């Protein structure tokens, strides 16, 4: 039996503190966790908010290298978690791309990465959840105990059933390096067929693969990137300084990264979104401190722009068309992936797009992907000029309709425009409401539609 660390005592004190703070919130105020960082892109604030401090719930409690498990507080970032597990030769089964995504956020929301073709989403490697429920209880939910209904409904509930205080997860073994192979395609149908075959066989050209994702630059230029663990490497590239990861795949077919740099390969430039801030220009990049080249810094800049309307003011001053924020992740069955790319390129036109295959390993209540069916996550993040006469929401509504026509789903971390009945049909209201009534009968927390669509 592994020895418990003394930080469990500290954790219990933090749990008591947040429970007492929650009980003291007035009934007419909407509780919100006060976090140092966020990766949500819903900027509408409810009229009256009571903030719950989560500063004492952001640590790794214990890593058990023998059992390959970790116990982690809910607001722990994946950056801190990975730093604790890699010295043991371990990593979470799925490590979302950005350093400041929290484990609790990835479980109650959604997370994905290039191991998801095999290991699903982050919540699928969770063994136990300690949750502060909407009615103020602290419960420990597992798949096989009296709170199993909450355990299965928690993913994609976005804090509307309660808050994750402690999470026990399974860990996977790693090797020091990852060998990358970038395979170019000039046809979306062939790209999707190749992705499907690689995910099914878990190999390419006779070599086993450990990771797979892809990047779409245009109808005649897209790449599948394959990763394989390695004990040794002839070199290790560095994309945390002047060199930019996503540009590298266009001029090299083979690359090597340390495992840590592989996990955070997208964070330095927030995929490609750092170009909006000019830091992909060589001169600007050369004078920008490395500590500023990270996703949470860019996210804060976006928040400031939204708060003060800087981009909108500049567009009006220059008589430019209005721009709409199109920041979404959607899951489409792999056999419909080429159709989605054709629609998106012709109707929206933003590039690049991220392509990441995933397969749910079992059924989950509120994000009804068919278990065992291969989907592709398409991620796209940026601003698109609106056609004259169109209003904000035009592109996002267009995308919502197309995704569901293609038997897909979209994540709820950003803006949504669904009608109420449509929303509950897509996100399994029949499963949600019995759990909501069981753990938040007084409605202290907003329901999923009110929070993710109406943004109250």
- How many helices (H) and strands (E) in the chain? 16, 18
**pLDDT value of residue 305:** 73
Residue 270 within any structural domain of the chain: no
The answer for residues whose C-beta is within 8 angstroms of residue 212's C-beta and 6 or more apart is 114, 117, 195, 198, 199, 224, 225, 226, 227, 356, 357
Question: 398 and 446: one domain?
Answer: no
User: Packing angle between helix 394-405 and helix 337-347, nearest 10 degrees?
Assistant: 160
Q: Which pLDDT tens digit goes with each residue over 324-382?
A: 989 999 999 999 999 999 999 999 999 999 999 999 988 888 987 898 999 999 999 99
Q: Which pLDDT tens digit goes with each residue over 2-21?
A: 434 458 889 999 999 999 99
Structural domain boundaries, residue 90: 7-174+436-454
Tell me which of 111 and 68 has the higher pLDDT.
Answer: 68
How many whole angstroms separate alpha carbon 21 and alpha carbon 26?
A: 10
Q: What is the mean pLDDT of the chain?
A: 91
Residue 299 pLDDT more than 90? Answer: no
**pLDDT value of residue 3:** 39
Question: 137 and 183: one domain?
Answer: no
**pLDDT value of residue 63:** 96
Residue 143 tokens read as 């798949």
Residue 422 within any structural domain of the chain: no
Question: 142 and 76: one domain?
Answer: yes
Tell me the CA end-to-end span of the chain in Å, nearest whole number: 46
Question: 77 and 189: one domain?
Answer: no
- The stretches of 131-258 forming alpha helices (DSSP H) are 148-153, 188-201, 245-248
Question: 315 and 244: one domain?
Answer: no
Residue 45 pLDDT more than 60? Answer: no
Average pLDDT over residues 82-88: 97
- What CATH number is associated with residue 356? 3.30.70.2520
Residue 303 within any structural domain of the chain: no
> What is the count of structural domains for the chain?
3
Q: Which residues of 197-218 are buried (b: 16+ CB within 10 A; e: fewer)?
A: ebbeeeebeeeebbbbbbbbbe
- What CATH number is associated with residue 43? 3.30.465.10
Question: 205 and 62: one domain?
Answer: no
Q: Which pLDDT tens digit goes with each residue over 401-449?
A: 999 999 999 999 888 999 999 999 999 999 999 999 999 999 999 999 9
**pLDDT value of residue 43:** 53
Residue 450 within any structural domain of the chain: yes
Question: 54 and 112: one domain?
Answer: yes
Residue 429 within any structural domain of the chain: no
**pLDDT value of residue 216:** 98
Question: 149 and 37: one domain?
Answer: yes
Question: 230 and 154: one domain?
Answer: no
């Amino acid at each position: 039996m592994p020895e418990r660390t003394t930080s469990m005592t500290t954790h219990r004190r933090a749990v008591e503190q947040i429970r007492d703070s929650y009980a003291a919130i007035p009934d007419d105020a909407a509780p919100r966790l006060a976090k140092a960082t966020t990766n949500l892109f819903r900027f509408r604030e409810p009229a009256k908010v009571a903030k719950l401090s989560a500063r004492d719930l952001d640590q790794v409690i214990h890593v058990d290298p023998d059992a390959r498990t970790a116990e982690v507080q809910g607001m722990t970032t994946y950056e801190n978690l990975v730093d604790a597990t890699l010295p043991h030769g371990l990593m979470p089964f799925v490590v979302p791309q950005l350093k400041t995504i929290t484990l609790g956020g990835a479980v109650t929301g959604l997370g994905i990465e290039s191991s998801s073709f095999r290991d699903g989403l982050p919540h699928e490697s969770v063994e136990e959840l300690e949750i502060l429920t909407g009615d103020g209880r602290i419960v420990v939910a597992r798949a096989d105990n009296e709170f199993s209904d909450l355990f299965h409904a928690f993913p994609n509930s976005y804090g509307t059933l309660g808050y994750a205080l402690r999470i026990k997860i399974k860990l996977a073994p790693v090797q020091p390096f990852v060998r990358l192979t970038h395979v170019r395609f000039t046809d979306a149908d062939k790209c999707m067929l190749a992705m499907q075959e690689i995910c099914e066989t878990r190999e390419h050209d006779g070599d086993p693969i450990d990771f797979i994702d892809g990047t779409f630059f245009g109808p005649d230029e897209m790449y599948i990137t394959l990763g394989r663990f390695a004990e040794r490497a002839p070199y290790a590239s560095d994309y945390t300084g002047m060199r930019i990861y996503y540009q590298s795949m266009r001029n090299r077919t083979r690359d090597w990264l340390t495992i840590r740099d592989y996990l955070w390969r997208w964070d330095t430039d927030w995929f490609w979104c750092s170009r909006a801030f000019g830091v992909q220009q060589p001169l600007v990049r050369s004078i920008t401190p490395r500590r500023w080249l990270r996703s949470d810094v860019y996210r804060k800049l976006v928040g400031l722009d939204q708060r003060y309307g800087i981009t909108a003011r500049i567009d009006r001053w220059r008589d430019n068309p209005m721009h709409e924020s199109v920041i979404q992740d959607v899951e489409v069955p792999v056999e419909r992936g080429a159709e989605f790319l054709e629609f998106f390129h012709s109707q929206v036109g933003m590039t690049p797009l991220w392509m990441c295959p995933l397969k749910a390993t079992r059924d989950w209540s509120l994000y009804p992907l068919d278990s065992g069916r291969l989907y592709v996550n398409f991620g796209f993040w940026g601003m698109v000029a609106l056609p004259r006469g169109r209003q904000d929401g035009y592109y996002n509504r267009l995308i919502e309709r197309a995704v569901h026509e293609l038997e897909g789903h979209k994540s709820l971390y950003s803006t949504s425009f669904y009608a109420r009945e449509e929303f509950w049909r897509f996100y399994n209201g029949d499963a949600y409401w019995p759990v909501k009534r069981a753990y938040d009968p007084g409605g202290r927390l907003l329901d999923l539609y009110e929070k993710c669509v109406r943004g109250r």
